[in-house]
Structure 1
C-alpha cells in the first residue's frame, strides 16, 4: 500500500492496524498541531495531467487505439503537400507534410458538431501525415517557438496573478543554468503545459494550401465557421504525437523529479516548487474547462465529456496541494507573518522575487472572497479554483461532484 505522505516526508516507518485507514504514527499526533493534514497515501507520480485519447465513441480513427504510431500503408496518391497549421492562441505556424490516403474501416471522414439539438457534419478529404517522426520533430520545435505567444494570449491582463506567475517562471527558465534543479523543473513544466494546450485547443489549416477545402466547408451553424479544419485522421495523428510522443515523456521527467525535490523539502527549492505547483493546478482547471466545452460542442447530456478522467485530474490537484502544504508547515511565505528577511534567509530570494511574493500576497487578499464563492459553487473551470487553494492556511482535500 505504501507509506503515507507524512511518514514519507519524515522518513519514519508507516504502520497501520486497519488496511487503508489512518496509520499509527498519524494517529499519535491527530489531536496536535502536527496533524494539519489527514493521513493520505498520495504520490506525485500518480497525477493525471492530460487526456490520454479521444472520448469513447468520438474517436477519429481506430488505427492507433493503443498509442502505437504504425505508418499508413495504403496511399491514394503519390503527391505530398505541405500545410500550415495554427491554433487560436499563437501566430506561429506549424508546417506539416500530408498525403491523401485510402480510408479503412474505423476512419472518420467528417467533422461533427451539435447545433440546437441537431447533429451537424461536414465531409473532409482524407489526408494524413506522411511521417510521424518528422511531425514529432516539428511539434517539438513549435512548442518552444509558440510558448511566449500562447502565454500572452491566454493569461489575461499583465497585472493579473496568472500572467505575473507564468512570466516569472518563464524568465527563471531562461536565466537558470541548464544543469540546475530549477531549470529542469521549469523546462519540463512549461513545455508540458504548452503541449497540453495544443492537444486541447482546436487547430486549423491556414495559408494557400487548404487540401481543396473551400472556406465555407463548415457552415454558419458551426462554431468554427470560416476556418479550414484538420482532416480527422490527421488530427488523430497529431493527438498521438502530442500525447504519446511528447507529453508522456515530459510528464514522467517532471513528476519523478518534482517528487524527489518535494521529499527533500529544502527551503531553497520553495519558489520553484510553488511555481510548478501553481502551473500544474492551473492546468487542471484548463483541462476541466476543455472537457466541459467538448461536452457542449457535441451535445452530450452531461457536464464533462470524460467524467472519470475529470475525477482523476482533481485527485491530482489534491496530491500536489497536500505535498505543497506539508512542505509549508510553519511560516507561510504568502502570509503577513512572513517577513522579507525570512524570504531572504530561508528561501534565498532576491529583491525581484520578494516583490513578486508581496504582489502575490496583495492579489490573494483582494480576491479571496470571489475565490471562495467559485469553490462554494463548484466552478471547477475557474482559473483560480485549484490555484487559490495554495493560499489556504488550513487546507484539506476535497471531492469532485460531476
Structure 2
C-alpha cells in the first residue's frame, strides 16, 4: 500500500488547487475617527477570485433590458436566469426564441410562453356598444334591476327565436324612458332605405322569475341551436357531430362547455319576436322589403335586458369555467387530451366566425357607418382566436397529429383515438387537402365571417400570428331615414 507523502499537497483531479497568489487578496482598511485622523489599520485576507465589475451597458443593451423589465419575460427564462427576447417579439402570440426551439422533454411540450394571457380572452360582447342601436347608459347590469313603473299591470309575453319549437315566457310592464334610452327600432330595407318605428315603452319585470325562465329555456333549447351547424359546410357539420358525441360520452369534457358557449351565444345574437296573444300593441310586419317581414319584434329595452340576463348569469360563469379548465389541460399537456382540445378549439373558432358574420349583418340591418357593428369588440374577439391558435400550435404541437398517416395503426395508439375517431381524422385530412387552396384564399379576402376562416388555421403551422386587427372596413353610403307608423 502506497503511503502518502506528507510533504506533498494532494490535488483533486476534478478541481485543481487554486493558485495561492490568485486566490488570496490582501486588503488594508484604515481606521479613522470622525475628524479624519488615522488611528490604525486592519488587514484582511480574502479567498477566491478577485472581484469583477460588470461593464457599462451600451444604449441599445440598456433599452433592451428596460423593455424586458417593463413587458416581462417568460417564467422558464426567468427561472433559468437567461436572456429572454419575449418582449422583442412583434406579436403577443409568438413564444420567445429559446422556448420555441427547446426540445420536448418526454414528449411533453414546455409551459406556455406568450405575452397574451389565456384567461383574459373574450368570446362575446358585454352589452351593446355606444355606437349600436340598442345602447343605453342607464346602468351597467340591466338583468338585475327592475325599472318598471310601480303599481302597473304585469303582462305575460311569449317569445321565440324560431329555433325548434322552443318558446320563452317573460313578464313585461311599462317604464319611464330616460333621454338616452332607445324606444324605437331602426332597420335597412332591401331597397337600401333606412326606416324607423317607435315602439311601446315596455321593459322586463319580476326579474327573478324571468331569470329562472331564461335558464330553463337554455337548458331545454341549447342543443337545438347547434342543429344550424349540421346541414352546412361538410367539415363543420362532421366536426360538430363528433364533438356532440364526444361530449355525451365524457360529461367533463372541454368540448361540452365549448358547445354550450356556442349555442348560448347565438341567443344574444338572434332577435327575439313575440308569438303569443299579447303583442303589446305591436303589429306583425307585412312588407317583403322589410328584413323582419312576418315577425313581431320586441321593444328595445326588453331585448337588451334579455341579453344581459344571459350574459351575466350564464355566459360569464361558463366562460370562466371553460378557460380555467383549458388552462389546466394544456399546461402541462397530456397526449390523451389532444382530441378534446382540438374539438374545443374548432368549436370556439367557428363561434368567432359566427360573431363576425353577425356583426356584419347587424351593421347592415341598422345601416351603420362601418361594415361591422362594433369594430373594437371584433378586434378583441380576433385576439381571442389567435390566443387559442397559439396555444394549440405551440403548447399542444396541435397541427402535427393532423398530418399523421392515419392508415398506420401506430398513429391511432399514439393519439389514443378509437376506430370512429381515427376514421373521422382520415376524413378531416381528405377534406382539408381538397380545399387547401380555397382555405388559403380566405385569409387574403378578409372575409372573417366565412365558415372555416379561423378554424382552418388549426391545420397549418403557418397560421396568421400577426397582431389582431380588422381589415376591409369601408364606410357605408349615407341613406335617408323614413319614419313609419
The normalised TM-score by structure 2 is 0.72
1:83 partner SS: strand
**Local SS of the residue matching 2:87:** coil
Give 1 or 2: higher helix fraction.
1
Are residues 254 and 220 of structure 1, via their aligned partners in 2, closer, same or farther at CA, if it must alter by over 3 Å? same
Choose 86-95 or 244-253, whichever is displaced more.
Answer: 86-95
Q: What is the aligned partner in structure 1 of residue 200 from structure 2?
A: 125
Q: Which string of whole-angstrom CA distances, capped at 9 and with x for unpartnered residues, describes residues 275-295 of structure 1? A: 110011011111011111111
In 2, Cα distance between the equivalents of 1:324 and 1:330?
Answer: 5
2:339 aligned with 1:271: yes
Q: Does residue 162 of the first structure (1) align with residue 236 of the second (2)?
A: yes
Partner of 2:88: 21
What does residue range 234-273 of structure 1 map to in structure 2 within 5 Å?
234-273=302-341
Q: Is the 8 A contact 2:143 2:309 kept in 1?
A: no
| Equivalent in 347, 351, 354 of residue 419 of structure 2 | 351
Equivalent residue, structure 2, for 1:298: 366
Q: What whole-Å deviation, never above 9, does each CA across 1:133-183 have from its counterpart, x for those lacking one?
A: 3222222222232233222234424x811112111222222222x4x4x2x
Q: Secondary structure at the match of 1:77?
A: coil
| CA deviation after TM superposition for structure 1 residue 43, in Å | 2.1
1:19-70 per-residue CA deviation (whole Å, 9 max, x = no partner) reads 82259x93447778889xx973222212110111113142353333356622
- Distance, in Å, in 2 between the alignment partners of 1:331 and 1:154 is 23
Following superposition, the deviation at residue 198 of structure 1 comes to 0.7
Q: Distance in 1 between matches of 2:410 and 2:214?
A: 43
**Deviations, residues 69-121 of structure 1 (Å, cap 9, x unaligned):** 2222524722x222221114433111222223333333322111134554311
What CA distance in whole angstroms lies between the structure 2 residues aligned with 1:46 and 1:254?
Answer: 12
SS in 1 for 2:267: helix
Alpha-carbon separation, structure 1, partners of 2:142 and 2:368: 25
Give runs of aligned pairs for residues 26-105 of structure 1, distance below 5 A: 26-28=96-98, 40-57=114-131, 58-65=133-140, 69-75=144-150, 77-78=152-153, 80-105=154-179
Distance 1:63 1:170, change over 3 A: same
C-alpha RMSD of matched pairs (Å): 3.1
User: 2:84, 2:96 within 8 Å by CA — same for their partners in 1?
Assistant: no
What displacement does 1:340 show? 4.7
1:327 to 384, 390, 395: 395
Corresponding residue to 1:314 among 370, 382, 397: 382
What CA deviation, in whole Å up to 9, does each residue of 1:249-269 have, x standing for no partner? 111111111111111210111
Paired residue total: 389
Larger radius of gyration: 2
| TM-score, with length taken from structure 1 | 0.86
Structure 2, gaps ≥5 residues long: 1-70, 474-485
Q: In the alignment, is the contact (CA less than 8 A) between 1:76 and 1:100 conserved in 2?
A: no
Q: Is the 8 A contact 1:112 1:119 kept in 2?
A: yes
Report the CA distance shift for 1:346/1:19 in structure 2 as closer, same or farther (over 3 A).
closer
Instruction: Say if 1:264 and 1:33 are closer, same or farther in 2 by CA, change over 3 A.
Output: closer
